[in-house]
Amino acid sequence: MRREFKLPDVGEGLTEAEIVRWHVKEGDAVKVNQIVVEIETAKSIVELPIPWDGVVGGLMAEEGQTVDVGAPIIAVDTAEEGGAPTQAAPSQAVPTQAAPSQAVGGAPVDDMVPRPPVEGAVEPGVHGSPAPKEERQAVLVGYGVKTSATKRRPRKSRPTGQPPASQAPAVQPAAVRSAIVEPVVADPVPAQRGVPARVAALAKPPVRKLARDLGVDLTTLTGTGPHGSITRDDVHAAAGSAQPAAPAGEATATSWTAARGPREERIPVKGVRKMTAQAMVASAFTAPHVTEFLQVDVTETMAAVRRLRELPDFADVKVSPLLLVAKAVLVAARRHPMINSSWDEQAQEIVVKHYVNLGIAAATPRGLVVPNVKDAHELPLPELAGRLTALAETARAGRAQPADMAGGTFTITNVGVFGIDAGTPILNPGESAILAFGQVRDMPWVVDGELAVRKVTTLALSFDHRIVDGELGSLFLRDVGQMLEDPLRMLAWS
């Protein structure tokens, strides 16, 4: 029996995900709970297990494709009760030339697996894939989609050597003809004069524009993309191998591209980066931000870090200045609870949280993520160090789960690791404050009336001015700074 595994909602209300990598291929045997695919949601990369034993009947989504939640992504042929999984050839599993009456009253497998359509037709929205012979027409919402019995009349004139209208691929509606991949056909006039027409080429609109800009004839290229479509690389390769000689002293965009590569690059905004962009825009234009800065002598903190590294309790964890910054934030949040709160717009209330889910911003190749340590205020220092280390490693590997990034109450962003002194961080949505920790460097500093070289850093605190006024923000930042100047204050104020 063929079963289709549909993309689940692995987060909180997520609507789509991108297929990152398949772990199986058609014909592979799979077991219950075997990981078959990695997907990227708007929050993280997630591995999905299959819920059945059987044989992979087909992959219904390609790597790099964005799929809506609830859409089938893989078909599995499972064993019926008392039987064994069977793997049928594609021509046996699905009849290729079934009549419309057979599509309704045929075997159950015909109802569950779509038939391969007429060869050469184009499925709406799919790059060069086949489509059903019948045209699909949009009808009223809630009443499904019906197939049309009308046929387009043949053209009055057609190039010689081409099949008649009854044998040509079904013509798609206008909405389909403007799909992602469109054919580029040479002028049929030569064929009318007895010269064979050139072969049509499949190319996306941006690729066709790039070809026009570079002066490349798409009909002379052989595509290397899906279903023979022409890609940007194909166009660049053709432009680089056959560049016309430019006049002396005249620099053209084409010659520049051939020598140095493309002048522009377009990166799709999706997944984590898309979610981050939406969150930052919502935060920046919802909460009135205020940022305060404080330079701190952290010489004693750096000495304390070196001593902690020598203790047996910290032998298996990473001890960095960020650990003591996190501890100082937790202590200061207990002294000033309003800093650890959120604004409830609907209820018109301020929600003060007497717990701290401490978020640490982490830069990953797929975008910025902010996983958080749950109930960080209750953890002893060695356990806090271990949790921070594990959180950072998981986030950088792209394995942070949506639950790891939900429910944060306060965030620290360590811009110092990039050699930055300070900045104006944007609030993580739902939080009232965020602290930026700058690089620690040697600076001249006045100590007991004398000039000395000390370890100095800059702290930048951004806060929501609807909740945190200037006095509260200043008191909180001052307390964090004093604890970093003298780490013993953490013990005194804990």
Question: Confidence class of residue 494 from pLDDT cuts 50, 70 and 90?
Answer: confident
Query: Hey, what domains does the chain have and what are their CATH numbers?
Result: 2-86+103-112 (2.40.50.100), 178-266 (4.10.320.10), 271-493 (3.30.559.10)
Average of per-residue pLDDT across 208-236: 84
354 is catalytic: no
pTM higher than 0.75, yes or no? no
Backbone angles phi, psi at 296, to 5 degrees: -130, 135
Q: Is the pLDDT of residue 420 over 70?
A: yes
Biggest CA pair distance of the chain: 98
To the nearest whole percent, how much of the chain has pLDDT over 70?
A: 70
57: CB partners within 8 A, 6+ apart: 2, 26, 75, 76, 77, 87, 93, 113
> What CA–CA distances, in Å, run from 287 to 316, 459, 463?
40, 21, 9
| Helix (H/G/I), strand (E/B), else coil: 292 | strand
Decide the pairing of beta strands 201-203 and 289-297: unpaired
pLDDT of residue 253: 52
Question: Confidence class of residue 183 from pLDDT cuts 50, 70 and 90?
Answer: low
Residue positions counted in the chain: 494
Q: Which of 38-42, 190-194, 401-405 has the lowest mean pLDDT?
A: 190-194
